[in-house]
A and B are shown apart, each in its own frame.
Chain A
Amino acid sequence: MAKQSSDGAAVAPSDTGAAPGARSLWASRWPALPAVLGLVLLFLVPMGIVGLYSLWRINNNLQLVTDWSLKNYALFFNNAVYLRTFGKTLLVATLATGVTVGVALPFAYFIVRYLTGAWQRVVLLGVIIPFWSSYLLRAYSWQSILGEKGVVNQALQAIGLISDPITFFNYTNSAVVLVLVYVYLPFAVLAIYASLEKFDFGLLTAAQDLGASPLRAVRHVLLPSIRPGIITACIFVFIPILGEYLTPTLVGGVEGTLIANLIINFQRGGQLPLAAAASFLIAIFVTVLLVVFRRYLRVQAVVGRV
């Protein structure tokens, strides 16, 4: 078969043996070099450094001693509080992801199904607008909403539902979940929107014409079609929450402590190998999750038209 040049024209096969094949392979792959370099420099090298630190220790002078051992990992598996806190982090991440996707799905459905193109762009802009302010500010502003003198308490007092401010809203686990949902909702909406936009809604009508109830049509026709978008939304939300530090600190108080808060304590105390071991464990967990879900990660199906 004749090869093609970069502009698509047919070119004669080379008569110089294997070398041109190798050149051709190189020529076809070198443009991926920046991505590979990015992956190596921004992911593999830092992770390697964290992995190395996790196998070393700090002496009484807070100096790094390059003795190789798994003691830092043993600390986590031997102390129930770390496993419990990691378990709680998983639970909060699962709950927040579930709620986020649960809100994002009907929201994206509404945008795609009931809004015209111009209005879709307006609403999507509204979804993206929070990104224009910093994460810290967005999370911090919830203190003014949920706090004892915050908007919610003042409103409830104004309408006479409560006489004294209630502390239930702020510095609790529920506040953490609420703010996480708020912070990560745009990611989920955009991922699901991209999937829904390509969905042929005539299929839903066809399913109902063939006797399916609306719910059944959604369950058996719509959801399987947009599954990549839903899975991507789950990944975009669930994984960052595993490392969340700021939101639990700002609105969770002591009750809302997640595993990253304990890791930060080690860092504050200069115990970098212990912090590295805990961080590495989370990274391994995330990597395993991604491997498990890799077959759903068809990026093209989510972000681009086929």
Chain B
Amino acid sequence: MINRQLSRRDFLKGSAGVGATAFLAACTPSAAGPSGSAAAAPSATVEAGPLNFLTWNDHWNKDALTQAQQLLGITVNVTELSDDPDGIAKMQSVGGQLDIVSLDGSWVPKANDLSLIEPFDINSLAVASQLYSISRTFDIWTTPQGYLAYPWGWSPIVIAYNPKFVSPAPEGWEALIDPKYAKRVVLEDEPFDITLWSGLATGAKDVFDMTDAELAQCKDWLTKLKPNILKFVAQNDGVISALAKEECWLGNQNLGVEERVKKAGGIEVKAIVAKEGTTGFYDGEMTVKAGDNKARVRPYLEFAAQAEWVAQNFIDNGRPLFNEKAYSLLVNAGKKDLADRYFYNQPELALKMRVKGPSTRDADYLNLFNSVFGA
């Protein structure tokens, strides 16, 4: 037994030594790479790190990630993306710490304009042959340097409602501000998009570039909306959960909400596209130019974007995706009606939507939103 009493100085010296050792150990690059990946990743150490993926919660399958790790040695770290501007800001801020990022519509060319992403030859990916051809030729994603994103899915934003409580059936955005539904609306926490919808509801000419007068009208509309909002949720599965638990009666969603709510709680909800118009998205995965492990993006896509995974993703999340072979699998599995109901077989509709994109007044939109939803 050690009898020596530890003096404060000895303790501090010991702590300093341990701290310095730990610091040096943390700073020393590991030669081993990620666990279990040595055989699958013979490239340089920096290339052997995890694939850092910033995306929405419905862009990946848990099983696909597990198998990517087991079969390819690619560990995928998923970070949830809150909104498109957040994705752009994070790509600009974190240097090589992101390798693959998802964005919507015309946010993708914005990322390219800012030299944040790496265009690629989409046809050089074997898995791309499974895509609807239209999704390989979106004008706004086509550049002389290559294609900007690997297409994933699309959907207009719909208003989902519970017919048990919401009557008559809503036709447009005004249902969200009906005083009958106080504290019965749940929306995704996307201030920018919600401001866009307020612009649509109030008849703004161009919701992506509203004037001060139009923003003032938006403010009035959002002020009426506020008492009806129960809460904002981080991702769209939060809306699904609130609808299923009947916590809320109205919410914003993608196509396929009816099936997802049924799976979550067995109740029946319906969905409409607002008569005043809506926004929509088609989204895809981009290779981050500065990504430390961007070399792993292609093998990851070749694996995780295979039709089997995509078909499963459709069953889980319900909105149409761009993988045509997955549609065939769904048809073969007896799910043609379901797929057709949500326009999986009509990818050309994606081009008819008012696609999400940047505004010239992002800060003003956010400030307006905060002005209403602050205390």
Residues of A whose CB lies within 8 Å of any CB of B are: 6, 28, 30-34, 37, 58, 60-64, 75, 79, 81-82, 84-85, 87-88, 147-149, 167, 171, 249, 252-254, 257-258, 262, 265-272, 274
Q: Determine whether the beta carbon of B15 is less than 8 Å from that of A34.
A: yes
Determine which of A87, A253, A269 lies in contact with B83 in the assembled complex, contact meaning CB atoms within 8 Å: A269
**Interface size for chain B: under 10, 10 to 19, 20 to 34, or 35 or more residues?**
35 or more
Q: How far is the CA of A147 from the CA of B246 in the complex (A)?
A: 11
Q: Determine whether the beta carbon of A257 is less than 8 Å from that of B375.
A: yes
Q: Determine whether the beta carbon of B16 is less than 8 Å from that of A81.
A: no
Q: Kindly provide the distance from the CB of B359 to the nearest chain A CB, expressed in whole angstroms.
A: 9
Q: Determine whether the beta carbon of B370 is less than 8 Å from that of A34.
A: no
Pick out which of these stretches binds chain A: B4-12, B42-50, B132-140, B292-300. Answer: B4-12
Assess A62 versus B230: contact at CB under 8 Å? Given A84-B374, A269-B191.
Answer: no
Q: Kindly provide the distance from the CB of A35 to the nearest chain B CB, expressed in whole angstroms.
A: 8
Q: Determine whether the beta carbon of A31 is less than 8 Å from that of B362.
A: no
Q: How far is the CA of A64 from the CA of B114 in the complex (A)?
A: 12
Query: Cβ of B110 < 8 Å from any Cβ of A?
Result: yes
Determine which of B12, B82, B183, B373 lies in contact with A268 in the assembled complex, contact meaning CB atoms within 8 Å: B82
Q: Determine whether the beta carbon of B88 is less than 8 Å from that of A262.
A: no
Q: How far is the CA of A79 from the CA of B230 in the complex (A)?
A: 25
Q: How far is the CA of A152 from the CA of B137 in the complex (A)?
A: 55
Q: Determine whether the beta carbon of A75 is less than 8 Å from that of B367.
A: yes
Q: Determine whether the beta carbon of B13 is less than 8 Å from that of A31.
A: yes
Q: Determine whether the beta carbon of A147 is less than 8 Å from that of B245.
A: yes
For B89, B113, B374, the residue with the greatest tally of chain A CB atoms inside 10 Å of its CB is: B374
Residue of A nearest to B114 (CB): A61
Residue of A nearest to B369 (CB): A265
Assess A268 versus B16: contact at CB under 8 Å? Given A61-B113, A62-B362, A171-B231.
Answer: no
Determine which of A33, A171, A253, A268 lies in contact with B85 in the assembled complex, contact meaning CB atoms within 8 Å: A268
Assess A269 versus B363: contact at CB under 8 Å? Given A64-B92, A254-B229.
Answer: yes
Q: Determine whether the beta carbon of A254 is less than 8 Å from that of B10.
A: no
Q: Determine whether the beta carbon of B367 is less than 8 Å from that of A270.
A: no
Residue of B nearest to A75 (CB): B367
Q: How far is the CA of A249 from the CA of B82 in the complex (A)?
A: 14
Chain B residues near A262 (CB, 8 Å)? 370, 373-374
For A147, A149, A258, A262, the residue with the greatest tally of chain B CB atoms inside 10 Å of its CB is: A262
Q: Determine whether the beta carbon of A81 is less than 8 Å from that of B371.
A: yes
Residue of A nearest to B182 (CB): A167
List, sorted by A's number, 28 A–B pairs whose CB atoms are closer than 8 Å.
A31-B12, A31-B13, A34-B19, A62-B358, A62-B362, A63-B114, A81-B371, A81-B374, A82-B374, A85-B374, A147-B245, A148-B246, A148-B247, A167-B183, A171-B183, A171-B230, A254-B226, A254-B231, A257-B373, A262-B370, A262-B373, A265-B366, A269-B83, A269-B192, A269-B365, A269-B366, A270-B362, A272-B93
Q: Determine whether the beta carbon of A270 is less than 8 Å from that of B110.
A: no
Q: Kindly provide the distance from the CB of B138 to the nearest chain A CB, expressed in whole angstroms.
A: 21
Q: Determine whether the beta carbon of B363 is less than 8 Å from that of A253.
A: no
For B7, B358, B362, the residue with the greatest tally of chain A CB atoms inside 10 Å of its CB is: B362
Q: Determine whether the beta carbon of A268 is less than 8 Å from that of B189.
A: yes
Q: How far is the CA of A265 from the CA of B371 in the complex (A)?
A: 11
Chain B residues near A270 (CB, 8 Å)? 85-86, 88-89, 362
Q: How far is the CA of A266 from the CA of B360 in the complex (A)?
A: 16
Chain A residues near B232 (CB, 8 Å)? 249, 254
Q: In chain B, residues 1-45, which have Cβ atoms closer than 8 Å to a Cβ of chain A?
A: 7, 9-10, 12-13, 15-16, 19-20
Query: Cβ of B190 < 8 Å from any Cβ of A?
Result: yes
Q: Determine whether the beta carbon of A6 is less than 8 Å from that of B230.
A: no
Q: How far is the CA of A30 from the CA of B110 in the complex (A)?
A: 51
For A32, A63, A254, the residue with the greatest tally of chain B CB atoms inside 10 Å of its CB is: A254
**3 A-B pairs with least C-beta separation:** A31-B12, A270-B85, A270-B89
Chain B residues near A6 (CB, 8 Å)? 7, 9-10
Q: Kindly provide the distance from the CB of A153 to the nearest chain B CB, expressed in whole angstroms.
A: 12
Residue of A nearest to B371 (CB): A81
Chain A residues near B16 (CB, 8 Å)? 30-31, 33-34
Chain A residues near B234 (CB, 8 Å)? 249
Residue of B nearest to A265 (CB): B191
Chain B residues near A272 (CB, 8 Å)? 89, 93
Assess A32 versus B363: contact at CB under 8 Å? Given A84-B375, A262-B370, A270-B85.
Answer: no
Q: Kindly provide the distance from the CB of B292 to the nearest chain A CB, expressed in whole angstroms.
A: 21
Q: Determine whether the beta carbon of B375 is less than 8 Å from that of A81.
A: yes
Q: Kindly provide the distance from the CB of B182 to the nearest chain A CB, expressed in whole angstroms.
A: 10
Q: Determine whether the beta carbon of B362 is less than 8 Å from that of A60.
A: yes
Q: Kindly provide the distance from the CB of A277 to the nearest chain B CB, expressed in whole angstroms.
A: 12
Instruction: Produce 1/0 per residue, B60-92, CB < 8 A to A.
Output: 000000000000000000000011011011001
Q: How far is the CA of A85 from the CA of B19 in the complex (A)?
A: 41
Residue of A nearest to B19 (CB): A34
Q: Determine whether the beta carbon of B12 is less than 8 Å from that of A147.
A: no
Q: Beyond A60-B362, A268-B82: 4 further Cβ-contacts under 8 Å? A: A61-B110, A252-B231, A262-B373, A270-B86
Q: Determine whether the beta carbon of B362 is less than 8 Å from that of A253.
A: no
Q: Determine whether the beta carbon of B367 is less than 8 Å from that of A79.
A: yes
Instruction: Produce 1/0 per residue, B183-225, CB < 8 A to A.
Output: 1000001111000000000000000000000000000000000
Q: How far is the CA of A114 from the CA of B190 in the complex (A)?
A: 53
Q: How far is the CA of A82 from the CA of B113 in the complex (A)?
A: 34
Q: Determine whether the beta carbon of B229 is less than 8 Å from that of A253.
A: yes
Q: Kindly provide the distance from the CB of B350 to the nearest chain A CB, expressed in whole angstroms.
A: 25
Chain A residues near B83 (CB, 8 Å)? 268-269
Chain B residues near A149 (CB, 8 Å)? 245
Residue of A nearest to B89 (CB): A270
Determine which of B192, B363, B371 lies in contact with A79 in the assembled complex, contact meaning CB atoms within 8 Å: B371
Q: Determine whether the beta carbon of A271 is less than 8 Å from that of B245.
A: no
Assess A257 versus B374: contact at CB under 8 Å? Given A31-B16, A64-B92.
Answer: yes
Determine which of A84, A258, A274 lies in contact with B363 in the assembled complex, contact meaning CB atoms within 8 Å: A274
Q: Determine whether the beta carbon of B10 is less than 8 Å from that of A32.
A: no
Chain A residues near B189 (CB, 8 Å)? 265, 268
Residue of B nearest to A6 (CB): B9
Q: Kindly provide the distance from the CB of A78 to the nearest chain B CB, expressed in whole angstroms.
A: 11
Q: Determine whether the beta carbon of B92 is less than 8 Å from that of A81.
A: no
Q: In chain B, residues 74-131, which have Cβ atoms closer than 8 Å to a Cβ of chain A?
A: 82-83, 85-86, 88-89, 92-93, 110, 113-114
